[in-house]
Structure 1
Amino acid sequence: MFVDKVKIFVKSGKGGDGHVSFRREKYVPNGGPDGGDGGRGGHIIFEVDPGVNTLMQFRHNKHYKAQNGEDGGKKRCHGKDANDLVIRVPQGTVIREAESLKVIADLHAPSQREIIFSGGKGGKGNQHFATATRQAPRYAEKGKPAKEYWIILELKMIADVGLVGYPNVGKSTLLSMVSNAQPKIANYHFTTLAPNLGVITNKYGKQFVMADIPGLIEGASEGVGLGHDFLRHVERTKVLIHVVDVASTEGRDPVQDVYTIQKEINIYNDEILKNKPQIIAANKIDIGDFEESIQRLEQAFKPQGIEVIPISAAGNQNLQELMQKTSDLLATVPDHTVVFEPEFEEVTDYSNAPFTITKVEDGYFTVEGIGVEKMMGYTALDTEKGFAFFQKYLRDRGIIDALEEADIHEGDVVRIYDLEFEYFK
Structure 2
Amino acid sequence: MSLFYDRAKIYVKGGDGGAGAVAFRREKYVPEGGPSGGDGGRGGNIVFVGDEGMSTLVDFRYKRHYKGERGEHGQAKNMTGKRGTDVELRIPVGTVVLEDETGDVIADITEHGQRVVVAAGGRGGRGNARFMSNTNKAPTLAENGEPGEERWLRLELKLLADVGLVGFPNVGKSTLISKVSAAKPKIADYHFTTLVPNLGVVELEDGQSFVMADIPGLIEGAHAGAGLGHEFLRHTERTRLILHVLDISGSEERDPLEDFRIIQEELRLYSPDLAQRPVLVAANKIDIPGAEEHLRRLKEELGEELEVFPISAATGEGLQPLTYRIAQLLPDIPVPEITNYTAEHVVTKAEPEQRFEIIKENNQFVIMGKEVEKHVRMTLFDREESIYRFQNILKAMGIDDALREAGIKEGDSVEIAGMTFEWE
Going from structure 1 to structure 2, the CA distance change for 1:222 and 1:143 (only over 3 Å counts) comes to farther
The Cα of 1:76 is off from its aligned counterpart by 2.9
Q: Which residue type is aligned with residue 138 of structure 1?
A: T
Going from structure 1 to structure 2, the CA distance change for 1:347 and 1:229 (only over 3 Å counts) comes to closer
Q: Distance in 1 between matches of 2:153 and 2:262?
A: 32
Deviations 1:105-144 (A, max 9, x none): 31542x5544333222223322233345532233334434
The Cα of 1:261 is off from its aligned counterpart by 6.4
Q: How does 1:266-305 map to 2 (within 5 A)?
A: 273=274, 276=277, 278-294=279-295
Tell me if the contact between 1:16 and 1:39 (Cα under 8 Å) persists in the aligned partners.
yes
Aligned to 2:182: 182
Going from structure 1 to structure 2, the CA distance change for 1:160 and 1:54 (only over 3 Å counts) comes to closer
Which stretch shows the higher mean deviation, 213-222 or 85-94?
213-222
Aligned to 1:360: 385
Q: Which residue type is aligned with residue 65 of structure 2?
A: H
1:14 aligns with 2:16: yes
Q: Distance in 2 between matches of 1:24 and 1:325?
A: 75
Aligned to 1:169: 172
Aligned to 1:105: 108
Q: Which residue type is aligned with residue 289 of structure 1?
A: G
Q: Distance in 1 between matches of 2:226 and 2:184?
A: 26
Which stretch shows the higher mean deviation, 273-282 or 313-322?
313-322
1:65 aligns with 2:62: no
Tell me if the contact between 1:19 and 1:35 (Cα under 8 Å) persists in the aligned partners.
yes
The Cα of 1:240 is off from its aligned counterpart by 1.7
Which stretch shows the higher mean deviation, 88-97 or 237-246?
88-97
Tell me if the contact between 1:118 and 1:147 (Cα under 8 Å) persists in the aligned partners.
yes
Q: How does 1:123-272 map to 2 (within 5 A)?
A: 123-165=125-167, 166=169, 169=172, 173=176, 182-184=182-184, 194-198=198-202, 209=210, 211-216=212-217, 232-248=234-250, 254=256
Counting aligned pairs with the same residue, the percent is 35
Tell me if the contact between 1:184 and 1:191 (Cα under 8 Å) persists in the aligned partners.
no
Secondary structure in 1 matching 2:249: coil
Aligned to 2:308: 309
Q: Which residue type is aligned with residue 340 of structure 2?
A: F
Q: Which residue type is aligned with residue 360 of structure 1?
A: E
Going from structure 1 to structure 2, the CA distance change for 1:97 and 1:295 (only over 3 Å counts) comes to farther
Going from structure 1 to structure 2, the CA distance change for 1:21 and 1:254 (only over 3 Å counts) comes to farther
The Cα of 1:41 is off from its aligned counterpart by 1.2
Q: How does 1:375-414 map to 2 (within 5 A)?
A: 399=396
Going from structure 1 to structure 2, the CA distance change for 1:94 and 1:340 (only over 3 Å counts) comes to same
Which stretch shows the higher mean deviation, 54-63 or 37-46?
54-63
The Cα of 1:104 is off from its aligned counterpart by 1.0
Secondary structure in 2 matching 1:14: coil
Going from structure 1 to structure 2, the CA distance change for 1:85 and 1:324 (only over 3 Å counts) comes to closer
Secondary structure in 1 matching 2:385: strand
Going from structure 1 to structure 2, the CA distance change for 1:250 and 1:89 (only over 3 Å counts) comes to farther
Number of residues of Structure 1 aligned to a counterpart in Structure 2: 358
Tell me if the contact between 1:172 and 1:184 (Cα under 8 Å) persists in the aligned partners.
no
Aligned to 2:413: none
Aligned to 2:117: 115
Going from structure 1 to structure 2, the CA distance change for 1:334 and 1:87 (only over 3 Å counts) comes to closer
Tell me if the contact between 1:103 and 1:340 (Cα under 8 Å) persists in the aligned partners.
no
The Cα of 1:237 is off from its aligned counterpart by 1.5
Going from structure 1 to structure 2, the CA distance change for 1:199 and 1:321 (only over 3 Å counts) comes to closer
Q: Distance in 1 between matches of 2:111 and 2:56?
A: 14
Going from structure 1 to structure 2, the CA distance change for 1:317 and 1:67 (only over 3 Å counts) comes to closer
Q: Distance in 2 between matches of 1:21 and 1:160?
A: 62
The Cα of 1:315 is off from its aligned counterpart by 3.0
Aligned to 1:86: 88
Deviations 1:144-178 (A, max 9, x none): 4422233221122334432234467256757976x
Which stretch shows the higher mean deviation, 86-95 or 352-361?
352-361
Q: Distance in 2 between matches of 1:405 and 1:289?
A: 83
Deviations 1:348-378 (A, max 9, x none): 8695463558883799678669xxxxxxxxx
Secondary structure in 2 matching 1:195: strand
Going from structure 1 to structure 2, the CA distance change for 1:326 and 1:364 (only over 3 Å counts) comes to closer
Q: Which residue type is aligned with residue 340 of structure 1?
A: N
Going from structure 1 to structure 2, the CA distance change for 1:317 and 1:81 (only over 3 Å counts) comes to closer
Q: Which residue type is aligned with residue 32 of structure 1?
A: G
Going from structure 1 to structure 2, the CA distance change for 1:362 and 1:292 (only over 3 Å counts) comes to closer
The Cα of 1:8 is off from its aligned counterpart by 2.6
Tell me if the contact between 2:104 and 2:346 (Cα under 8 Å) persists in the aligned partners.
no
Secondary structure in 1 matching 2:155: strand
Aligned to 2:42: 40
Q: Which runs of 5+ in 1 are unaligned?
A: 201-206, 370-397, 407-425
Aligned to 1:420: none
